[in-house]
Structure 1
């Protein structure tokens, strides 16, 4: 994730692509569909891996003169199981109204897509240090395929499946700084904040890495990343924080 900063030592343009691994844990509150109970989720990375069907992460960074572009894409598919009860009366899609005293078992297949796209301007630049001001948007799309079995002592068990998806867009502002330590080693930090009630109530992210350039066009990065979002609208709840170490391999054009 090492940007091509600097002045005369660099060309007018640069582009780099970084596929990476994000060993993220998850903590927060989620409601898979409206009128369903809000579920508190707290999982370490190893627990997330137990539920993982597929995950992919990629970061793209580009510069032309002092104009910069930053993009980051995440896609994760997981399957999780929850059991809760006894519960008060509630309505579950496909089952109708479930009377009080029922217990609910649910298998939730969740597909999460997040894409952050920002453009900006290099406000400070030397051979050792660069600082970029950024602004853009973060796009979210959450899809849930829920299989539910509601059991009641008097009514027995009833099952149903329900699929529902929702999404939103958050405006964000951010910054990115980069520091050369030696010819091979560098450090980088990037952060943003947004939402402001337009999509989510609030979202923010932070990334810090140490980078090592082991070839003319290749480098490796290790660090830590956090993404936090608080979305609650129309009965859909996605109030979570994802955080954990990152490890990336960068190819620079």
Structure 2
């Protein structure tokens, strides 16, 4: 998938989410929100190759320098105790790493392009004034291109490419608490996998209601995933502060 095609798909998805949210909001039983956020994440990518394991780490500043494109957004629709959540993000970045065989290769280069779409159906199992607890199930679908290049020294340069698409089933829980009329906190956890892959994430935020429609949020998000490849196993971790704005229809 080309970057241009992906941008068109992402843009269409955002427009669809906005129009769907507005349509649901017109039905008296539904409320909808859409959020855009920035994730100041540090990144770790590990990939097995026939020449050994390559481990690449990027700080947030390094990731900005090597970031080609990124998109992050969340939408939610709720009717009574039931809710539907969608979360989409896309990263395309590259990083240098130490070579697993220093005599043969001078360094390693890792290029990663990952799109992850998470969807959940949740149910409000507990609610009191100022406190609610949701539980549910869902999935996280990955589209990932991973190229690991060992830059030649004594040996010629070699590139090992992996194009992986898969879906992890997930269980999820969410706790929300109001601290006062304006401020609130949210804790969201999910985890799952298929045996050949696994994924989990934790998200903790504190929010401020600007008015009936707008809220600002900030916190911390950590996401990990690992999967089997033709050469062994690969994994990535995204971890760092997150800030965003939410609009309620």
Shorter-chain TM-score bucket reads 0.7 to 0.9
Equivalent in the alignment of 1:224: 220
Q: Output the CA distance in 2 between the equivalents of 1:69 and 1:141.
A: 22
Equivalent in the alignment of 2:69: 54
Cα offset, 1:215, TM superposition: 2.1
Aligned residues: 222
Seen in structure 2, the aligned counterparts of structure 1 residues 41 and 81 have a Cα distance that, compared at 3 Å, is closer
Alignment of 1:232-243 (within 5 A): 232-235=228-231, 237-243=233-239
Q: Output the CA distance in 2 between the equivalents of 1:27 and 1:151.
A: 25
Equivalent in the alignment of 1:115: 117
Match of 2:63, SS? helix
Q: Output the CA distance in 2 between the equivalents of 1:102 and 1:161.
A: 14
Equivalent in the alignment of 2:53: 38
Equivalent in the alignment of 2:17: none
Q: Output the CA distance in 1 between the equivalents of 2:126 and 2:175.
A: 9
Match of 1:84, SS? coil
Equivalent in the alignment of 1:144: 146
Gaps of 5+ in 1: 1-10, 88-100
Alignment of 1:144-163 (within 5 A): 144-145=146-147, 149-152=151-154, 158-159=156-157, 163=161
Render the CA deviation track for 1:96-133: whole Å, top value 9, x for unaligned.
xxxxx521544433211111111121111233111111
For the pair 1:22 / 2:39, whether they are aligned, the reply is: yes
Gaps of 5+ in 2: 1-27
Q: CA RMSD in A?
A: 2.3
From the two aligned structures, give the one with the greater strand fraction: 1
For the pair 1:13 / 2:30, whether they are aligned, the reply is: yes
Q: Give the alignment partner of residue 244 of structure 2, picking from 244, 248, 251.
A: 248
Render the CA deviation track for 1:203-227: whole Å, top value 9, x for unaligned.
2111111111112211100001111
Render the CA deviation track for 1:224-253: whole Å, top value 9, x for unaligned.
111122323332532232211000110110
Match of 2:52, SS? coil
Q: Output the CA distance in 2 between the equivalents of 1:112 and 1:23.
A: 16
Q: Output the CA distance in 2 between the equivalents of 1:123 and 1:147.
A: 49
Deviating more after overlay: 229-238 vs 108-117: 229-238
Equivalent in the alignment of 1:173: 171
Equivalent in the alignment of 1:8: none
Cα offset, 1:145, TM superposition: 4.4
Seen in structure 2, the aligned counterparts of structure 1 residues 83 and 240 have a Cα distance that, compared at 3 Å, is closer
From the two aligned structures, give the one with the greater helix fraction: 2
Render the CA deviation track for 1:157-209: whole Å, top value 9, x for unaligned.
64566654112211110101111222211111110111151x41x32111111
Q: Output the CA distance in 2 between the equivalents of 1:214 and 1:17.
A: 15
Q: TM-score, normalised by structure 2?
A: 0.80
For the pair 1:67 / 2:82, whether they are aligned, the reply is: yes
Q: Output the CA distance in 1 between the equivalents of 2:187 and 2:110.
A: 35
